Structure 1
Amino acid sequence: MSYGSNRPMRPRIYNYTVNSFQSQYQTPSRQSHSYPSQHHQPQYYQPSQAQLEEESTAVIPKPIVVPSLQEQDQIFLNVSNVYQQSQQFNYRGVLGVGKQGAGVRKRVEMGFQSGLKDEVSYSLNTIVEFSHTNPQLFNLKENPFVLFNLVKYLDCSVIEYLSDSTIKAENDNLNFSLDAAIALRNLSQIIDNAAIMSLDPRLKEILVKIMTNGDRISGNVIDDNREAIKELLRYTVDIVETISSYIAPAPIDDPLFISLIGFLQKTNDRYLIISLLRSLSRLMVRSVSNKPSAADNISSKLLDQITSYLLLSTTSLTAIHDLGYDELILATLDFLYQYSLPGGSRISKLIESDQRSLLLKTVLLNLLTYNLTNIQTEYKDRLRGKKFLKLIKRIKPPVPISPPFLKGNLYNEIYKLDEPQRATTWMRCCYQSVENGEVTQISLWKSYESQFTTIVNPSFEQPLKKLLPAVDFIKNVCNAFPHSSAKVINLPDGSRKFIIKGIQPRQLPVSIEVGNKESAEKTSTGDGDDAGNVTDEEDAEEEDNLKGDSISAQQKFFKILNYGANNNIKLNEINSSSALLLNCLAKDEAGCELLKGYKSEILDKVLMVPPLFNHVFDSLDYLDY
Structure 2
Amino acid sequence: MAPPRTENELSSDAYEQERQEFLAQLRIFHENRGTVFEPDPRVGTRHIDLLRLYRNVVDRGGYDKVSEEKLLWRKIGSEFGLGSNNLPALAFGLKSIYYKQLAAYEITHVHGKTPPPKEILEDITAKGAGLLTRTIENFRPSARKETGPLGAENSEASGDDGTPGRDRIGSEETPGSGGRVTRGLRQAPPQRVLFQPDTQPARQTRHSTSHPTHAQHHQHQGHRGASTSYNPPSNLDNISAATSNFDNRPAMPLTLRPVITPGNNPIEFARREHALKLAAAVENGKIPATAPPRLVLPGSGFDGPNIYVRCLMALKSGIPEEQSYALHHLVKISMERGDKYRFESFPGLAEALVEKILEVSSLFYKVKWDIAYLEEELAQNPFALNGVDGTRDILQKIACLSRLDIDDNLHPAEFRDTLLLVNEAALTLRNMILLEENAYYVSEMCPLRDLLSIVLNLPALDSVVELKHYALDIAEQLTKYMSFEVEDPLYISLLAQLQSNDRGTILTSLRAISRISMNLEENNLLKGVPALAVEKIMDWTLLHDEELVGASLDFLYQYTAVVDNVDFMVTELQVEPLVNQLTRLLSYGAKIVEKEFPLGPEYKTAAPENIAPLPQELQSELEKLDEPERSSQWLRCLFEEDREESITQIAMWQAYQARFSPMAGQTGRALLPAAEFIKNVSTTFGDKVAAQVQSGPVQKFIIKGLRRRAIPVNFKGEPFSRCLWKKYGNSTCGEFFMSPDQMYQHVLRNHIGAIPMEDGKFENTTGQYMCYWGDCTHFHISPASKLVQLATHIKVHLPRRKSSANKDATEYFGQSTPKKHKPSYVFSPPKQAFQFHVTMTDERGDAAGIPLSAVLVLRNLARNLSKTEAEEVAMKETGVSWVDRLFKPVERQLFEIMAHNRSLAEYLTDLLHAVRYA
TM-score under structure 1 length normalisation: 0.50
Classify the secondary structure of the residue corresponding to 1:144.
Answer: coil
**Structure 2 residue aligned with 1:270:** 503
Any stretches of 5+ residues in structure 1 without a counterpart? 1-87, 218-225, 316-324, 379-508, 545-557
Q: Kindly provide the amino acid, as one letter, of the partner of residue 257 in structure 1.
A: Y
Paired residues for 1:374-413 under 5 Å: 374-376=592-594
- 1:308 and 2:539 correspond: yes
Match of 2:481 in 1: 246
SS in structure 1 of the partner of residue 856 of structure 2: helix
| Distance in 2 separating the partners of 1:370 and 1:262 | 30
CA separation of 1:137 and 1:571: change in aligned 2, threshold 3 A: closer
For 1:144-187, what per-residue CA distance to the aligned partner results, in whole angstroms no more than 9, with x for missing partners? 22101110111123455298964379998111110011111111
Q: Structure 2: 5+ residue runs without aligned partners?
A: 1-127, 131-137, 145-300, 370-381, 386-413, 597-763, 797-829, 872-881
Distance 2:784 2:367 in 1: 93
Aligned with residue 579 of structure 1, among 837, 855, 876:
855
**Which residue is 1:96 aligned to?**
143
- Note the 1:162-181 alignment, pairs <5 A: 166-167=382-383, 173-181=418-426
> In structure 1, how many angstroms separate the alpha carbons of the residues matched to 2:323 and 2:559?
44
Contact 2:480 2:520 in 1 (8 A): no
Shift of 1:562: 3.6
1:610 is the counterpart of 2:854: no
| Between structures 1 and 2, the one with greater helix share | 1
Alpha-carbon distance in 1 for matches of 2:436, 2:430? 12
What is the 5 A alignment of 1:8-407? Answer: 93=140, 96=143, 99-155=302-358, 156-158=360-362, 160-161=364-365, 166-167=382-383, 173-213=418-458, 215-217=459-461, 226=462, 228-248=463-483, 250-265=484-499, 267-283=500-516, 295-312=526-543, 315=544, 325-343=545-563, 345-352=564-571, 356-376=574-594
Checking the alignment, whether the CA contact within 8 Å between 1:309 and 1:328 is kept in structure 2 is yes
Matched residue type, 1:101:
G
Assess if the C-alpha contact under 8 Å between 1:375 and 1:569 holds in 2: no
AA at the equivalent of 2:856: L
Separation in 2, partners of 1:271, 1:141: 31
Residue type at the aligned position of 1:237: L
Q: Which has the larger radius of gyration?
A: 1
Deviations 1:201-226 (A, max 9, x none): 1111111111112x514xxxxxxxx2
| Matches of 1:603 and 1:586, distance apart in 2 | 15
* 1:277–1:331 Cα contact (<8 Å) kept: yes
Deviation of residue 624 (structure 1)?
2.6
Contact persistence 2:836–2:901 (CA under 8 A): no
Contact 2:327–2:425 (CA under 8 A) maintained in structure 1: yes
CA-CA distance at 1:297 after TM superposition: 2.5
1:525 positional shift: 12
Tell whether the 8 Å contact from 1:158 to 1:174 is kept in structure 2 after alignment.
Answer: no
| Residue range with higher mean Cα deviation, 569-578 or 156-165 | 156-165
Aligned to 2:622: none
Provide closer, same or farther for how the CA distance between residues 531 and 565 of structure 1 changes in structure 2, counting only shifts above 3 A. Answer: farther
Q: Distance in 1 between matches of 2:784 and 2:846?
A: 52
State the alpha-carbon separation in 2 of the partners of residues 532 and 578 from structure 1. 68
Q: Distance in 2 between matches of 1:95 and 1:164?
A: 46
Aligned AA for 2:503?
R
The answer as to whether partners of 1:514 and 1:532 remain within 8 angstroms in 2 is yes
After TM superposition, the structure 1 = structure 2 runs for residues 478-517 of structure 1, keeping only pairs within 5 Å, are: 511-514=766-769
* 1:606 partner letter: M
Deviation at 1:117, TM superposition (A): 2.0
Preserved contact between residue 368 and residue 579 of structure 1 (Cα < 8 Å) = yes
Decide whether aligned partners of structure 1 residues 286 and 160 sit closer, same or farther in structure 2, where only a CA change above 3 A counts: same
Aligned: 1:596 with 2:799: no
Decide whether aligned partners of structure 1 residues 564 and 359 sit closer, same or farther in structure 2, where only a CA change above 3 A counts: closer
Paired amino acid for 1:246: Y
Aligned with 1:240: secondary structure?
A: helix
Partner deviation per Cα, 1:75-121 (whole Å, 9 max, x = no partner)? xxxxxxxxxxxxx9x99847636754311222112212433222211
Aligned to 2:904, the other structure's residue is in SS state helix
| Alpha-carbon separation, structure 2, partners of 1:99 and 1:360 | 70
Residue equivalent to 1:11: none
Please report how far the alpha carbon of residue 620 of structure 1 lies from its aligned counterpart in structure 2 after TM superposition. 2.2
Higher relative contact order (CA 8 A, sep 6+): 1
Q: Which residue matches 2:70? A: none
CA deviation vs aligned residue, 1:310-357 (integer Å, no higher than 9, x gap):
112xx5xxxxxxxxx2121111011111111121x3112223356x42
What's 1:452 paired with? none
Aligned mates of 1:256, 1:191 — CA distance in 2: 21
Change (3 A) 1:522 1:279: closer
Q: Report the identity percentage.
A: 24
One-letter code of the match for 1:102?
P
2-side partners of 1:579 and 1:565: how far apart?
Answer: 15
Q: Secondary structure at the match of 1:138?
A: coil
Q: Distance in 1 between matches of 2:860 and 2:512?
A: 21
Q: Give, in whole Å, the separation in 1 of the partners of 2:831 and 2:555.
A: 44
Looking at structure 2, the residues matched to 236 and 307 of structure 1 have their Cα atoms a distance apart, in angstroms, of: 25
- Where 2:899 maps in the other structure, the secondary structure is helix
Contact 2:453 2:493 in 1 (8 A): yes
Contact in 2 for aligned 1:510/1:534 (Cα 8 Å) = yes
1:530 to 1:285, Cα distance in 2 relative to 1, 3 A: farther
What is the aligned length? 363
Give per-residue Cα distances to partners, 1:381-420, cap 9 Å, x unaligned: xxxxxxxxxxxxxxxxxxxxxxxxxxxxxxxxxxxxxxxx
Residue identity opposite 2:453 in structure 1: V
1:279 Cα deviation after fit: 1.2
Amino acid at match of 1:561: A
Residues 287, 342 of structure 1: 8 Å contact kept:
no
CA contact (8 A) 2:497 2:506 kept: no
**CA distance 1:614–1:540, change in 2 (3 Å):** closer
Question: 3-state DSSP class of the match of 1:623?
Answer: helix
CA distance in 1, matches of 2:783, 2:444: 92
Q: Secondary structure at the match of 1:512?
A: strand
Residues 570/279 of structure 1: CA separation in 2 closer, same or farther (3 Å cut): same
- Give how far 1:377 is off: 8.6
**TM-aligned CA distance change 1:173 to 1:602, over 3 Å:** same
**Secondary structure of 2:539's match?**
helix
Distance in 1, matches of 2:525 and 2:454, equals 19
Cα distance in 2 for residues equivalent to 1:616 and 1:516: 57
Change (3 A) 1:268 1:523: closer
Rate the CA distance shift 1:370–1:136 in 2: closer, same or farther, 3 A: closer
Map Cα deviations across residues 8-50 of structure 1 (whole Å, 9 max, x no partner): xxxxxxxxxxxxxxxxxxxxxxxxxxxxxxxxxxxxxxxxxxx
**Contact in 1 for aligned 2:314/2:322 (Cα 8 Å):** yes
Q: Supply the RMSD in Å over aligned alpha carbons.
A: 4.5
Aligned-residue offset at 1:530:
7.1
